[in-house]
Structure 1
Amino acid sequence: MRVLSKSRFKLGLECPNKLYFTNDKTFANKKSDDTFLQSLAEGGFQVEELARIHYENGFFIDAESLEYEMAVQLTSDALLRENVILYEGAFLVDGYYVRCDIIEKTGNKIRLIEVKAKSFNPNDKYLFIGKNGKLVSGWKPYLFDLAFQKKVVQMAFPNLEVEAFLMMADKTKMATINGLNQLFRVPKNGNPRTDIIKKVTKIEEIGQSVLSEINVDSVINSIIDGTFLYYDNLNFSEAMHLFRDAYQEKKYLNWPLKFSNCKGCEFKASEEEIQQGLKSGFEHCFKKQLNWSDSDFNRPNSMEIWNYRGGYLLEENRLFLDDLTEDDLKVIPIATKISPSERQWIQVEKARTADTSVYVEKEGLKAEMAQWNFPMHFIDFETSTVALPFTAGRSPYEQVAFQFSHHVYNEDGSIEHRTEFISNTPGQFPNFIFARALREALRYDNGSVFRFATHENSILNAIIEQLKNSSETDKEELISFLKTITVSKKDSAETWAGERKMIDLNKIIKDYYYNPYTKGSNSIKAVLPASLISSEFLKNKYANCLDQINVSSKNFNGNHIWLSMKNDELINPYKMLPPLYEGWENDEINETISEIENIADGGAALTAYAKLQYEDMTEKERGEITNGLLKYCELDTLAMVMIYEHLKEIIQ
Structure 2
Amino acid sequence: MRVLTKSRFKLGLECPNKLYYTKKKEYADTKVSDTFLEALAEGGFQVEELARMHYPNGVLIEGNDWDYQLLWEQTQELLKQENVIIYEAAFLIDGLFIRTDVLVKHGGNIELIEVKAKSFTPDDEYLFIGKRGGMVSSWKPYLFDIAFQKYVIQFCFPQWNIQSYIMMADKSKKASINGLNQLFRISSKGENRTGILKKVSTIEETGNPVLGRKNVTQIVADIEANKYKYHDGLTFIKSINQFKTFYQKDEYANWKTSFSACKSCEFKSEDDELKSGFKECFNKQHNWTENDFTKPNIFDVYFFTKGNKLFEDGIYFKDKLTEDNVGLKVEAEKLTTSHRQWLQIEKEVNNDSTLYVDLEGLKDEMNKWVFPLHFIDFETSAVALPFNKGLKPYEQIAFQFSHHIYHENGKIEHANEYINNKAGVFPNFEFLRALKETLEKDNGTIFRYSNHENTILNAIYAQLPDSEEDDREELIKFIHSISHSKSDSAVKWKGNRDMVDLWDVEKRFYYNPLTKGSNSIKAILPASLSSSKFLQEKYSKPLNQINVSSKNFSENHVWLEIENDIVKSPYKMLPSLFDDWSEEQIENTLSEIEDIANGGAALTAYGKLQYTDMEQSEIDELTSALLKYCELDTLAMVMIYEHFKEITD
Question: Letter of the aligned partner of 1:326 in structure 2?
Answer: E
Amino acid at match of 1:6: K
Which residues of 2 match residues 571-586 of structure 1 at below 5 A?
571-579=568-576
Q: 1:579: Cα distance to partner?
A: 4.0
In the alignment, what sits opposite 1:287? 283
Q: Structure 1: any 5+ residue segments left out of the alignment? A: 581-593
CA, structure 1 residues 599+82, in 2 after alignment: closer, same or farther (shift >3 Å)? same
Corresponding residue for 2:427? 430
Q: How does 1:110-125 map to 2 (within 5 A)?
A: 110-125=110-125
Q: Which of 333-342 and 171-180 deviates more? A: 333-342
Aligned to 1:300: 296
Distance 1:483 1:396 in 2: 25
Equivalent residue, structure 2, for 1:227: 227
- 2:189, 2:197 within 8 Å by CA — same for their partners in 1? no
The question of 1:324 aligning with 2:321 is answered yes
Paired residues for 1:527-538 under 5 Å: 527-538=524-535
Greater mean deviation of Cα atoms: 635-644 or 24-33:
24-33
Distance in 1, Cα, partners of 2:545 & 2:65: 55
* Residue equivalent to 2:407: 410
What does residue range 495-510 of structure 1 map to in structure 2 within 5 Å?
A: 495-510=492-507
Map 1:11-22 → 2, pairs under 5 A = 11-22=11-22
TM-score, L = length of structure 2: 0.96
1:34 counterpart residue number: 34
CA contact (8 A) 1:188 1:617 kept: no
- Aligned counterparts, 1:73-472, within 5 A: 73-188=73-188, 190=190, 193-270=193-270, 273-274=271-272, 276=273, 278-309=274-305, 310-472=307-469
Which deviates the most, 642-651 or 121-130?
121-130
CA distance in 1, matches of 2:311, 2:244: 28
Between the aligned partners of 1:105 and 1:525, the Cα distance in structure 2 is 51
For residues 71-97 of structure 1, the C-alpha deviation after alignment (integer angstroms, 9 at most, x for no partner) is 111111111112111111111100000
Give CA deviations for 1:550-586 in whole Å, capped at 9, x if unaligned: 1000001101111111122211100001346xxxxxx
Aligned equivalent of 1:589: none
Quote the Cα distance in structure 2 between the aligned partners of 1:50 and 1:281.
39
Distance 1:574 1:169 in 2: 35
Q: Which residue of 2 aligns with 1:480?
A: 477
Change (3 A) 1:509 1:224: same
C-alpha RMSD of matched pairs (Å): 1.4
Shift of 1:284: 1.2
The farther-off stretch of 117-126 and 182-191 is 182-191
- Partner of 1:401, secondary structure, is strand
The secondary structure found in structure 2 opposite 1:633 is helix
In the aligned structure 2, how far is the partner of 1:219 from the partner of 1:639? Answer: 47
Aligned mate of 2:488, from 484, 487, 491: 491
SS in 1 for 2:430: helix
After TM superposition, give the deviation of residue 597 of structure 1 in Å: 6.5
Query: Which of 479, 498, 513 does residue 510 from structure 2 map onto?
Result: 513
Over residues 460-491 of structure 1, what are the superposed CA-to-partner deviations in whole Å (9 max), with x where a residue is unaligned? 01111111222211111011111111011011
Counterpart of 1:279, as a letter, is K
Shift of 1:339: 1.4
Amino acid at match of 2:622: I
CA contact (8 A) 1:330 1:341 kept: yes
Alignment-mate amino acid for residue 197 of structure 2: I
The one-letter amino acid of 2:37's match is L
Contact 2:36 2:194 in 1 (8 A): no
Following superposition, the deviation at residue 21 of structure 1 comes to 1.1
Contact 2:188 2:195 in 1 (8 A): no
1:161: how far off?
A: 2.3
User: 1:63 touches 1:70 (CA, 8 Å); kept in 2?
Assistant: no
Equivalent residue, structure 2, for 1:583: none
- The secondary structure found in structure 2 opposite 1:4 is coil
Shift of 1:598: 7.1
For each residue in 1:501-554, what CA deviation from the matched residue of structure 2 results, as whole angstroms up to 9, or x when unmatched?
101000011001100110000000000000000000000000111111110000
Contact 1:599 1:605 in 2 (8 A): no
**C-alpha distance in 2 between matches for 1:45 and 1:59:** 17
**Aligned mate of 2:623, from 623, 626, 651:** 626
Contact 1:108 1:161 survives alignment (8 Å): yes
Tell me how far apart the structure 1 counterparts of residues 322 and 468 of structure 2 sit (CA, whole Å). Answer: 59
SS in 1 for 2:49: helix
SS at match of 1:468: coil
Unmatched segments (≥5 aa) in structure 2: 588-598
Write the deviation string for residues 582-618 of structure 1: whole angstroms up to 9, x where unpaired. xxxxxxxxxxxx7667778721111100000000111
Distance 1:598 1:191 in 2: 29
Q: CA deviation at 1:160?
A: 2.6
Deviation of 1:198 (Å): 0.6
Distance in 2, Cα, partners of 1:192 & 1:536 = 57
- Would the aligned equivalents of 2:89 and 2:102 in 1 still touch at CA under 8 Å? yes
Q: How many angstroms does 1:64 deviate by?
A: 3.6
- Which shifted more, 187-196 or 55-64? 187-196
Q: Which has the higher contact order (CA 8 A, sep 6+)?
A: 2
Give, in whole Å, the separation in 1 of the partners of 2:74 and 2:84.
13
- The one-letter amino acid of 2:300's match is E
Which one-letter code corresponds to 2:433 in the other structure?
Answer: R
Q: Distance in 2 between matches of 1:205 and 1:198?
A: 11
Question: Match of 1:292, as an amino acid?
Answer: W
| CA displacement 1:24-56 (0-9 Å, x = unmatched) | 221111111213211221010000000010111
